[in-house]
Amino acid sequence: MKKARKVFKIYERLYAAFGPRRWWPADTPFEVMVGAVLTQNTSWTNVEKAIFNLKEQRSLDLESLNRIPHRKLADLIRPSGYYNIKAKRLKSLVSFLMHNFKGDIALMRRQDRKALRKKLLLVHGIGPETCDSIMLYALNKPVFVIDAYTKRIFSRCGMVKENVTYHELQRLFMESLPRNVRLYNEYHALIVQLGKEVCRKIPKCNLCPINKLCYNTKMEERNG
């Protein structure tokens, strides 16, 4: 089976198994951006607690985060871990939005995808995964998000090597699929669902909806 066809086949089976994920859970595009920073190196459960704290203090908007002192912001986002580092990163993101787009996310959304991605990657604390989460989920740009689950699942399926780079794996998806925001959104969310529930560090291959497409499963059957 050709790689492009297999990439789409995996999507179809995951969608049939899990249904629509309706991700990213947020009330505004700016909340998505904040969540993308807070979710670094932690679980979404912890992010939700930090988001709740910000909302309780009416601090989950651009102007409020721009004014709030670093120490208070760090305290509010403490549940997300690495709170001093993340407070600094949020401040850097807010500064970027204010200086480049006057805080206007609609204006930001109208920017060229490739040029905007380059600019975002220059912001302190914004790496490829965080950048692309913002691009896809907050700005509706067709950029496929890669994370640790994606690398684990697709290396086990024999699609890529374990040491594949972020951009190599991203290229596989973006060359195999139509440039479609909704498709990229659903596919990435389905990958996360599979990685969290089934394709864990010790995989539950017997429960996996894509086990027939998986190199890892075939090797286990051959060796078993």
- Note down the domain range covering 130: 29-138
Q: Tokens in use for 131? A: 């950048």
- pLDDT, one tens digit per residue, over 73-105 is 999 999 999 999 999 999 999 999 999 999 999
Q: Do 131 and 108 contact (CB within 8 A), yes or no?
A: no
Tell me the CATH number at 34: 1.10.340.30
Residue type, 124: H
Longest Cα–Cα distance in the chain? 61
Q: Tokens in use for 108? A: 């930001």
Q: Do 131 and 120 contact (CB within 8 A), yes or no?
A: yes
Both 127 and 172 in one domain: the answer is: no
Radius of gyration, CA atoms only, the chain: 19
Both 116 and 171 in one domain: the answer is: no
- pLDDT, one tens digit per residue, over 164-198 is 999 999 999 999 999 999 999 999 999 999 999 99
Give the total number of structural domains in the chain: 2
> Domain end: 98, 114, 138, which one?
138
pTM: 0.94
